Amino acid sequence: MQNRCFLINMKYKYIIIILTIFISCEKDKPIKKPIVENNDCIEIPPSQSIIGYDYTIDTNSLALPCFNPNNGNELLFVHQKYSNGSHKLYKYNLVTKNKKLLVETEIYSQPNWATNNWILLGLNHNIYKIKSNGDSLIQITNNGGNSNPVSNFNSNKFICSNTSQNFYIYDFSGNIIDTLTDAYVTATFDWDKNDNILIPTYEGIYMYNYNLKTTTLYCDEFNGLLIGKGLWINDTEFIWSTDKAIYKTNISNNNTICLKSHCNAFRYFYPSYSKQSNKIIWQKVKKKKIGENLIEVKSVLVLMDTDGTNEQEIEVKNHAHRTWH
């Protein structure tokens, strides 16, 4: 069955690229006064070179985190080593510090840990699933162009983006059960227990209700910005980010507040929420000027409260840091 999601008829599609530099927005949007000020942020001045800064990238990058929905102490992350191109998916326990390698393969979109203990992965332009102990890597889809899988609350279906400018909804056997057409973006989704799916676009953030087949637009005052993943934290509120700040939107009154501002020295990506710990984990990409025309780029994982406070970097042992130019 196809449902024409006419409100998501976008002129452009985008892919969030965070390996080297941050993407600047085309429009200047007002940033409401943040609840948490980033007073420790040191702005990077414009380069004096006509070709801009040179960049050195930390060869050991921690990226694409995802909480275990059944255990707030466990999470997934991808260790990206740019010196040899390796991508390793690890399961990590925040309390015991135990780390287990699940699979080594190219992973470029955020994993999704479903409540049925299967982990969804975008690999080789299709969606795969693997058990949380690392067993049984199984290909689910075969039509190609798929990425960014996110399961529903009951873990009997999932949505993913596709290069055909559609969003497909599958069951866990790989059968297409719904299609959103004219979705001209490569999106990162979130799906709540009421079957509301958040879809970020250049026009704002759409909420698509799978059961009613209705679409509602939020945050349209931020249209034109590169909006990151929207993340449900309860039935009425979701958190999201741009290159300027982290925001929280309440769908009951359509009110958006700024939680935490960014600066040009860092940005937060790919959030994941744990209802057990009431914490959000982010991939934080940091830039630091280390030479006259040289910028160091590092990607780390940080925890914070849902109001943007109490940020804490996660230190994962056995990840030596070297640089690549």
Are residues 62 and 299 in contact, defined by beta-carbon separation less than 8 angstroms?
A: yes
Distance CA 212, CA 3 (A): 11
Count CB atoms within 10 A of the CB of residue 311: 17
Tens digits of residue pLDDT in 158-203 = 999 888 878 889 999 999 999 887 655 557 899 999 999 999 888 8
- For residue 284, what pLDDT band results from cuts at 50, 70 and 90? very high
Q: What is the predicted pLDDT for the residue at 233?
A: 97
Q: What is the predicted pLDDT for the residue at 262?
A: 84
What architecture does CATH give domain 39-324? 6 Propeller (2.120)
In Å, what is the CA distance from 13 to each residue of 181, 207, 233, 300? Answer: 13, 18, 26, 27
Are residues 86 and 78 in contact, defined by beta-carbon separation less than 8 angstroms?
A: no
Q: What is the predicted pLDDT for the residue at 6?
A: 31
Q: What is the predicted pLDDT for the residue at 179?
A: 87
DSSP symbols for 157-201: EEEEEETTS-EEEEETTS-EEEEEESB-S----EE-TTSEEEEEE
Residue, of 152 and 80, whose pLDDT is higher = 152
Are residues 150 and 142 in contact, defined by beta-carbon separation less than 8 angstroms?
A: no
In the predicted model, is pLDDT for residue 11 greater than 70? no
- For residue 317, what pLDDT band results from cuts at 50, 70 and 90? confident
| Residue 111 burial class via C-beta count within 10 angstroms: exposed 0-12, middle 13-18, buried 19 and up | buried
pLDDT average, residue stretch 6-14: 33
Tens digits of residue pLDDT in 78-105 = 998 766 777 899 999 999 999 999 999 8
Residue 188 sits at the vertex; the CA angle it makes with 235 and 297, to the nearest 5 degrees, is 120
Query: Which residues on neighbouring strands pair with residue 289, listed in sequence order?
Result: 295
CA 252 to chain CA centroid, nearest Å: 24
CA 178 to chain CA centroid, nearest Å: 23
At residue 24, φ and ψ (nearest 5 deg) are -85, 140
Tens digits of residue pLDDT in 198-257 = 998 888 899 999 999 999 999 998 887 778 899 999 999 999 998 889 999 999 999 999
In Å, what is the CA distance from 220 to each residue of 210, 228, 266, 317, 325? Answer: 21, 14, 25, 42, 39
pLDDT average, residue stretch 296-301: 94
Q: What is the predicted pLDDT for the residue at 27?
A: 43
In the predicted model, is pLDDT for residue 42 greater than 90? no
Tens digits of residue pLDDT in 109-148 = 999 999 999 999 999 899 999 999 999 999 999 988 899 9
pLDDT average, residue stretch 49-71: 92
- For residue 40, what pLDDT band results from cuts at 50, 70 and 90? low
